[in-house]
Amino acid sequence: MRSVNELLDNVRGKRVVIRCDFNVPLDGDVITDDGRIKAALPTLTKLRDAGARVTVLAHLGRPKGQVNPKYSLAPVAKRLGELLGAEVKLAADVVGPSAQELSASLTDGQICLAQNVRYEPGEESKIDAERAALAAQYAKLGDIYVSDGFGVVHRKQASVYDIAKLLPAYAGELVAKEVEVLSKLTTNPDRPFTVVLGGAKVADKLAVIDNLLKVADALVIGGGMAYTFLAAKGYPVGNSILDASKVEVCAEYLKTASAEGKKIVLPVDVRVSDGMDFAARKVIGEVEVVPADQIPAGKEGLDIGPESEKLFADTVRSSHTVFWNGPAGVAEIPAFAEGTAAVAKALTEVDGLTVIGGGDSAAVVRELGYADDQFGWISTGGGASLEYLEGKELPGLAVLEESAKGE
């Protein structure tokens, strides 16, 4: 891949189209976590300082090819302007007259933002010709393309993949850094190397487990996915989340790890209750701590227990490389956030590289009050980082490599 740094000496006055990932969480029109916007600042600042005329493409939410004011990028444009210390004008459309006129009116060092690319049906189309037609419209907004939205590089979408076939394409600072950090996890990590996985569904992480079990020294399993592993050990799991179709697969992972001298660390105790009212964000019944092999019928495991917190934290702290993706419990509810908080604290105490794999984990550590620089790297792409670690080819990265070869 070619780096955006290769452009800087000769980009003044040139029009650059950059794909960023500004899919930030909102409460009404208030951004509750601006981490993804801040992650784009290094590349945008370099381009601005070099005198480029920059049009930003980005998405927010899932408007599914329809214009929906709920998913307007207006809050993003405002926040980006505040962070850059300069107004960032927002076009009224994606590739229509407003975007074209705004992009064409830029002077050296100015940045504008097109509306939500997912307002366009062609952006996520499975039909190559429809995506290509939209990409041709994007390409009219600039002479050079920069890919800096790592959170979408695993998608074959018009603003990620197809446009890079039409313009000279470069990787932004963020994309280059993500690849650099994640590649360290799969090639030659400093050992011991521990992978901490959580979240609700074991099926979502099977490919990651399969690939990382080959290179990691320990896998720590929390969240809802832990109960399928506990069931694989023959333990009762009550009403806890269980993917019955994956119990045998998990049993095989346990056997493989044992045979190869690797550790799969599971909860030894769990916090249970009668369930959750997620709409009201309330616990149903009393919260109890029970041994992981004695979850009562009718009870639901919703977080790891105190002994598991110590076990997980000790495993993390004794490592020199740690990758974490997915909370250890229902972290949005204080009663079930203790396990996740214990993992986050332990990560700040690691002597080595710590990588948080985006998504809920990134939001949680910020909500807990940790600064980004207390960790080695916080990935901006949950799904993209997981697919990278699965060993999959990511279309948005592959096309950058193709563009570099074609020059």
Q: From the annotation, which residues make up the binding site?
A: 21-23, 36, 59-62, 118, 155, 205, 301, 332, 358-361
| Beta partners for residue 31, in sequence order | 26
Reply yes or no on whether 85 is catalytic.
Answer: no
CB 173 within 8 A of CB 43: yes
- Is residue 261 part of the annotated active site? The answer reads no
d(CA 17, CA 281): 42
Binding residues for substrate, by number, are 21-23, 36, 59-62, 118, 155
* Annotated active-site residue in 142, 172, 359, 382: 359
Closest CA to 293 of 238, 247, 356, 242: 238
Q: What are the CA-CA distances from residue 240 to residues 244, 251, 257 (Å)? A: 11, 18, 24
Give the number of other CB atoms < 10 A from CB of residue 349. 11
Instruction: Single out the residue of 24, 384, 398, 406 nearest to residue 208, CA to CA.
Output: 384
Residue type (1 letter), 339: G
Residue found by looking up tokens 């949005």 in the block: 332
Catalytic one of 201, 262, 263, 310? 201
Q: Token pair for residue 178? A: 């993500």
Q: Of 2, 19, 36, 184, which is the active-site residue? A: 36
Sign of the four-CA dihedral 122, 80, 147, 168: positive
Active site (annotated) includes residue 383: yes
Give the distance from CA 189 to its chain's centroid: 21
Q: Which residues are annotated as a binding site for ATP?
A: 205, 301, 332, 358-361
Residue 72 phi, psi dihedral angles, 5° rounding: -65, 145
Give the residue numbers of the binding site for (2R)-3-phosphoglycerate: 36, 118, 155
Q: How far is CA 189 from CA 320, 321, 352, in A?
A: 8, 6, 10
Integer Cα distance of 312 and 270 in angstroms: 13
Helices (H) and strands (E) in the chain, counts: 13, 19
Q: Which residues contact 394 (CB under 8 A, 6 or more apart)?
A: 153, 154, 384, 387, 388
Q: What angle do CA 187, 188, 193 make, to 5 degrees?
A: 105
Residue 359 known to be catalytic: yes
What are the residue numbers of the active site? 36, 201, 359, 383
